[in-house]
Amino acid sequence: MNIGVVGAGIVGLAMARELMLTRGARVTVLDKEDRVGAHQTGHNSGVVHAGLYYRPGSLKAKLCRDGVALLREYCAEHAIPYDEVGKLVIASTAAERSGLRAIADRARENGVPGLAELDALALREIEPHAVGVAALHSPHTAIVDFPEVARCLARDVEKAGGSVRLSHEVRALRETASGVEVLVDGPQGRRRLSFDGLVVCAGLGTDAVARMAGIVGEVRIVPFRGEYYALTEEAGHLVRGLIYPVPDPRYPFLGVHLTRRIDGEVLVGPNAVMALALEGYSWRDVDLADLRRIAAWEGTRRMAARHWRTGIREVAGSLAKGAFLKAARRYVPALTGADLVRTAGGVRAQAVARDGSLSDDFVIDAYGRIALLRNAPSPAATSSLAIARHLVGITSVLSS
């Protein structure tokens, strides 16, 4: 069995490894960038989510919990640093207590271990500089270097006889009676490759690949940029682990939080503003063709009509450092404007349905010999090894 995988992010590489380990497949990974994990994998905060927020019984909830166990084991086997720094979800007002209780109930139903509900005094034993009326502590929430995990997965694929072809951009594809033909542009020019089946884990590029295959589907990717500040080295001691707000249940975004990374840096963010290009990492990145396609999707227009007030607030926050500082000071009041410095952000590939709703769960579509991961939001990196195992199990062309 000869399988192609489009996308050398952490999920695509996990998929390639799983196919080789469990199906004995010959696998070729294709990516237009010159390095693995160039987009969402390389621009996230590095949190290994424990499964606090996700609807019990959802694919997210199951694959997150399975993924944590697989990722922890994988990191141990490959000597990749994995640190259970713990997470506090803090209710900053009495009105947020009910939301915090709902998160605690969900987390317990999802099997998250070691949870503790804390009062205002007890939460300061975990985070001495944090404040709030109550908190939920998840001591086993961890941090890791996801780009390093991706690089390690790529090495695994190549050691097992697979191929990771970087700087190979998919230009066209078609399904044939016997498989899938893919036209790629690479360093040696244009080539035609043939596979028995194709898995698309292309993140921000998923819609483009789906169009090549003539696959319509019920969701489209809308890019949301998440911007960050980092704490200065002098202020880093104010945050020991992970400090999160009680999120608004209407949105799949968690809101501005404080995140200690595996290298010791502490991030403040992200916000969520609609990007002006699929790879729109700053306000300067504008792609009119991307914008036309995004605006043409009726789901985008319905989403904008429903959430325009929130969109305006997010844009205003993007332009004002004070908005980040205000959000962070709700939980760590000792922070000052001088403690925050702008740092690199990322772009989230968010699937939006026809009715304007933001898809909160993983979305997987299979069409003949082509399988598409249409929506892979957080905790996709945490869940990557479990997503791969799940995809192999449910997609017939990959199991033959």
Q: 291-317 b/e with 16+ CB inside 10 Å = b?
A: bebbeebebbebbeeebeeeeeebeeb
> Do the domain assignments include residue 335?
no
Residue 380 structural domain: 1-83+143-218+355-400
Predicted pLDDT of residue 92 = 96
- Cα 172 from Cα 9, distance rounded (Å): 20
pLDDT of residue 399: 52
Over the chain, what is the mean pLDDT?
94
Q: What is the pLDDT of residue 75?
A: 98
Cβ burial of 121 (10 Å; 0-12, 13-18, 19+) is: exposed
Residues 25, 3 contacting (CB under 8 angstroms) = yes
CA distance 70 to 62: 12
CATH number at residue 208: 3.50.50.60
The answer to the question of residue 125 being in a domain is no
The domain total for the chain is: 1
Per-residue CA distances from 322 to 229, 319, 339, 380 (Å): 11, 9, 12, 30
Answer whether residue 366 is part of any domain: yes
pLDDT at 251: 66
Judge whether 10 lies within some domain: yes
Q: At what angle do helices 380-394 and 146-159 cross, to 10 degrees?
A: 30
Is 245 part of any domain? no
Q: Is residue 343 part of a domain?
A: no
Q: Do residues 345 and 226 touch, judged by C-beta distance below 8 A?
A: yes
Pick out the chain residues at pLDDT < 50.
none
User: Can you give the pLDDT at residue 400?
Assistant: 52
Residue 133 lies in a domain: no
Q: Which two tokens stand for residue 319?
A: 């332009």
